[in-house]
Structures are given as C-alpha cells and as structure tokens.
Amino acid sequence: MLSLAESQKRLYEKLCSDLGETIIGFLQDRNVHEIMLNPNGELWIDSSERGQIHAGYLSVGQSTSILNSIAGIHGLIVSALHPRLETDLPYFSPMKGERFTGAVPPIVSSPCFTIRKRCEMVMTLDDYVQSQRMTLGQANVLRQLIHTRKNILVCGGPGSGKTTLTNALIDEAVKTDSQQRFLILEDVPELQCKARNSVAMLTSESVSMRDLLHAAMRMRPDRILIGEVRGREALDLLKAWNTGCPGGVCTVHANGAEEAIQRLIDLSMEAGLSQPPWSLLQHTVDAVAAVVRRQHQKGFVGEIVSIKGRSDEKILLEILG
C-alpha cells in the first residue's frame, strides 16, 4: 500500500506528464508570466519580452486531464455540476504554486484555463525609469511617499502590472527601513518582501481577507500590504491604515485613479454603511498610482494623484507626478 507521500508524489508526476513539455517549459521561462488555453485548443502566453503570442495547441483530452489532475490533487471535482476550478498548482519540480483558473462545459464550449505565474524578478523604481515606464519625477514622488510612510493605492486593469509596481514599492520600503515589520495579506502569493521581519498570510475557504486584516492588527505591524481588495474588507483596510499603521500599499481593479477611489468607496459600502466614508478615505489614502498597458508591454505609470476633496459629488484630484 502506498504511503501518503508516495501517493501525492505520483499525483504530482502525473500532472507534470499531463502538462507536457511545452507548458513545463513556459513554467520555467522567467519571461513568461501567463499561460492561457482557449476553448478552441489554442495555447497562448503573455511574455514580458514579446507580449501575447500563440504558442501551440492542446487536445481536449490533454486539457481535460490537466484540469482533472489539478482538481484531484486538491480534493476537488471539476464537472458539469462544478464547472469552475480556482486553485493553485502544487510546489513540485517546475511548479511553484502558480494561480490556476479553469473551466469546463457547460459554461465554456470546451476545457480552458489560465496559469498566472508569480513574478520572479522584482523591478526597482530605477528599473521603471530606465525602461521608460515612469518618469524620474514620478519615481521621486513615489520614493517620497514611501519614505514618509504614506498610504498608496495602486490601480489598473487586469494584467496591467499592478503587482509588479507594488513589489517595486515594497522593495523601496525595505530599503528605507529594513527593521520595520511588514504584514503581507493576499489571496494568492504574488507580493515579494525581502525584509527579515515580515509575515505573509493567505486567505482560504474559511479565512477571509477581513479575517486576515483583523489578525494583522494584533500582530504589531509597521506596514500592512494587501495584494488586492475586492469586497467589504476595503473599509477594514481604511480603518487599519488610519489607526497607527501608515505606509501601506494595496491594489484595486480600476481603469484610472478616479475610478479606483470610487471603487474603494463602493466596496466599503458593502460593509453596511449608511453613508460613503469620504472623510475616512480622504484622510487615509494619500496617493493613487495608476498603471496601464501599452501594446504588449505592461506597467506604465499613467498618473500619480492625491485626493483634494469633492465638489458636487465630483472627486477632485491633484497630480503629484
């Protein structure tokens, strides 16, 4: 009879076989950050060097085996009754816990999935300037915000480079004071922090981002860093940043700074507020940095603004860099 470790190893080896040499190669390629299979069997990758390119084909049989193997490793089922699969790849061989999102009929015409890799290389603010993804003035503004422990909201659309910029800001914060205690809260591990005094926590089926925020406040943080706010935990974030934990960074899905501010307000209202927490937000969020894609490249800083106030329900912004 196989031991638990031997059984698990066989499941991992089967998944490697199902993925095949092509996908395994992309998992090992540091320039590839997303691997995408469409229902028509076309395999695409998103590369930091070449953007999105067509990379081959997978049969229905192979894609189905991949989905079933990943589901089986996590004790899950993917079927017509459970057509969505959101989980992580295991830590085994070339796999390093990458985010996996898959779907099967009837919500799609044929099996498909997206594998999002954790960025292995941290760009610094100097790298952003050298690659012309931000101006020197913008870099100086961000450095000043980090050095003076201001709270920064990073916004952008899917795949725009929010996490990459957040990692650059974390890198700058650690350089500023490596003795600070960093609390990193995420749904999936994407943020990178080189500080020796840091704690990384992940949500689970039974632990929400709100739970993590409440726990973090009792763990003596100097800075609270959040991968992304998506729900009513936005209000908890604002309260945490406003009660002795300045210098935080967080991301939110939005196409621009004004939209990001409104989204944070809308998410906060999900906590059951009777009125939008404008005053709390204005006194808590010190700057909003918006990132955009340009053709196949991501991570261009479009604007950095602060909140001046409101006039006739319109958000008034001031450009910082």
Phi and psi angles of residue 73, each rounded to the nearest 5 degrees, phi first: -60, -35
Candidates 215, 9, 44, 188; CA nearest to 114 is 44
pLDDT on residue 4: 66
Instruction: Read off the pLDDT of each residue in 276-285 and give the average, rounded to a whole number.
Output: 91
pLDDT digits (tens, 9 = 90+) for 1-17: 556 678 888 889 999 99
CATH of residue 67's domain is: 3.30.450.90
Concatenated DSSP letters of 113-177: EEEEPPP-SPPPHHHHHHTTSS-HHHHHHHHHHHHTT--EEEEESTTSSHHHHHHHHHHHHHHH-
Residues 49 and 171 in one domain: no
Please say whether the beta carbons of 184 and 166 come within 8 A.
Answer: no
Cis check: omega of the bond before 105, within 30 degrees of 0: no
**Final residue of a domain: which of 67, 95, 116?**
116
Query: What does the block give as tokens for 176?
Result: 């500023």
Inform me whether the pLDDT recorded for 30 exceeds 80: yes
* Distance separating alpha carbons of residues 78 and 68, to the nearest angstrom: 7
pLDDT digits (tens, 9 = 90+) for 77-111: 999 999 999 998 998 888 988 989 999 999 999 99
Residues 14 and 140 in one domain: no
pLDDT tier at 74, thresholds 50, 70, 90: very high
Please say whether the beta carbons of 215 and 255 come within 8 A.
Answer: no
Please say whether the beta carbons of 139 and 126 come within 8 A.
Answer: yes
Look up the domain containing 206 and give its range: 125-319
Instruction: Read off the pLDDT of each residue in 10-39 and give the average, rounded to a whole number.
Output: 93
Instruction: Read off the pLDDT of each residue in 246-258 and give the average, rounded to a whole number.
Output: 94
pLDDT on residue 2: 58
* Distance separating alpha carbons of residues 290 and 49, to the nearest angstrom: 22
Residues 262 and 223 in one domain: yes
Please say whether the beta carbons of 38 and 55 come within 8 A.
Answer: no
**Final residue of a domain: which of 95, 116, 137?**
116
Angle at which helix 136-147 crosses helix 162-176, to 10 degrees, equals 60
The torsion of the CA quartet 17, 19, 23, 29, rounded to 10 degrees, works out to -60
DSSP 8: H
Instruction: Read off the pLDDT of each residue in 205-223 and give the average, rounded to a whole number.
Output: 92
* pTM beyond 0.95, yes or no: no
Strands (E), the chain: 32-37, 42-47, 51-57, 84-88, 91-92, 95-96, 99-103, 112-116, 152-156, 182-186, 198-202, 223-226, 249-253, 287-294, 297-311, 314-319
Please say whether the beta carbons of 208 and 216 come within 8 A.
Answer: no
pLDDT on residue 189: 84
**Final residue of a domain: which of 53, 82, 116?**
116
- Comparison of pLDDT for 275 and 118, the residue scoring more: 275
Inform me whether the pLDDT recorded for 204 exceeds 90: no
pLDDT tier at 47, thresholds 50, 70, 90: confident
pLDDT on residue 199: 96
Inform me whether the pLDDT recorded for 321 exceeds 90: no
Residues 172 and 73 in one domain: no
CATH of residue 296's domain is: 3.40.50.300
Residues 215 and 308 in one domain: yes
pLDDT tier at 232, thresholds 50, 70, 90: very high
- What is the rounded average pLDDT for all residues in the chain? 91
pLDDT tier at 158, thresholds 50, 70, 90: confident
pLDDT digits (tens, 9 = 90+) for 142-151: 999 999 999 9
pLDDT on residue 294: 85
Q: How many CB atoms lie within 10 A of CB 163?
A: 24
* Distance separating alpha carbons of residues 248 and 224, to the nearest angstrom: 5
Query: What does the block give as tokens for 102?
Result: 């898959």
Domain count, the chain: 2
